[in-house]
Amino acid sequence: MSEPESRKRCLSGVKSTGVPHLGNYLGMMRPAIELQEQHETYYFVADYHALTTEHDGEAMERQTYDITSYFLAFGLDPERSVFFRQSDVPQVTELSWLLSCVTSMGLLERAHAYKAAKDRGEEGAISHGLFAYPVLMAADILLYQANLVPVGKDQIQHVEMTRDIAGRFNYLFGETFVIPEALVRDEVKVILGIDGQKMSKSYGNTIEALLPPKQLKQRIMQIVTDSTPLEEPKDPERCNVFALYRLFASVEEQAEMAERYRAGNYGYGHAKLALFEKVNAHMGPYREHYQQIRGDLDYLEDVLRAGATKARQVAGPVLELARSRCGYKRRPVL
């Protein structure tokens, strides 16, 4: 999809579970941060969504600070982007209920995550929160009247569901919500993990974005390649090492490596080392920045609180509009 030209409102969230990997960084965090140059950007730590799997309160709090620190380390500028913690804007849960009442079970039963749980025979055990996950996500997006939602490919279905839910609400109660669109960059829509499947925490195939150099090198060396002998020519377009390399290297460097692949006498081990050098050089400054920020809880709290104040200024009137469309007026005594 091409980049929008006029200034738009972009919004996205990341669940506060686990450590961001190269798939999260390249597929969502980096593109989202780049948008702050030209657009109005709202990003948040989806800690209410994290409750579907995280049932340890201390871990919840810790991981929220972790994700916030990663975003800031990667270049999110809290002066230009509104960055907040989802649970600091409780209006989202109220909107989620209003939306729940116009969302059919049939729509939610089509969600990939629910279908996968069903296929594993776990549908009776999953929480209602997990089943209703897409409704809360719709509330996240609609509460800010966002135009664009920068995400990786796996989240497109959720944005489509948001469009359906918003359309249904608008149809039933009159024009209320902006219909959002997913913004997915073709070149990073699916980053592959070390085993060649989509990189994902659930597959144990990730390369964590800010691994220390030694572990980063070990992990990159584990990327699975085919068994073409060292001396034979290789096809860069079919190699996962090259696919990652091109996302960190300049056009000239990419052309140079592609040439080496095609010429032969260039092994995957060489390419992996070159990839390691690139990722390590790219991430080095972020690693340091992360350590600094993560140690400064007062700063993190300040950023999150200031973000929540700005977010609530937008969320409040939108929730009021949705409530009044449904026939609920705030009474002066309240």
Residues belonging to the active site? 118, 198, 201
Long-range contacts of 176-179 (CB under 8 A, 24+ apart): 176/321, 176/322, 176/325, 177/142, 177/145, 177/322, 178/142, 178/145, 178/146, 178/147
Nearer to ligand ADP, 170 or 200 (CB): 200
Query: Shortest Cβ distance from residue 49 to ligand TRP (Å)?
Result: 5
Site map (CB under 6 A) of ligand ADP, residues 180-219, x = contact = --------x-xx------xxxxx-----------------
Query: Shortest Cβ distance from residue 198 to ligand ADP (Å)?
Result: 5
Query: What is the total count of residues that contact ligand ADP (CB under 6 A)?
Result: 18
Query: Shortest Cβ distance from residue 114 to ligand ADP (Å)?
Result: 15
Among 28, 50, 142, 148, binds ligand ADP (CB under 6 A): 28
State the virtual CA torsion across 60, 65, 67, 70 in degrees, nearest 10.
-160
Nearer to ligand TRP, 28 or 275 (CB): 28
Which positions ≥6 away from 334 have C-beta within 8 Å? none
Q: Copy the structure tokens of residue 216.
A: 């980063």
Residues near ligand TRP (CB under 6 A): 11-15, 46, 49, 137, 140-141, 149, 151, 155, 158
Residues 248 and 243: their CA atoms lie apart, in Å, by 10
Instruction: Name the segment binding ligand ADP (CB under 6 A); options: 59-67, 102-110, 149-157, 288-296.
Output: 149-157
Q: Which residue is nearest to ligand ADP (CB)?
A: 27
**How many secondary structure helices (H) and strands (E) does the chain include?**
15, 5
> Which of ligand ADP, ligand TRP, none sits in contact with 199, Cβ below 5 to 8 A by type?
ligand ADP
Which positions ≥6 away from 24 have C-beta within 8 Å? 14, 152, 209
Q: Is 245 exposed, middle or buried (0-12, 13-18, 19+ CB in 10 A)?
A: buried
Nearer to ligand ADP, 113 or 326 (CB): 113
Alpha-carbon distances of 179 from 164, 185, 266, 269, rounded to whole Å: 9, 20, 50, 47
Query: Shortest Cβ distance from residue 89 to ligand TRP (Å)?
Result: 12
Would you count residue 23 as binding ligand ADP (CB under 6 A)? yes
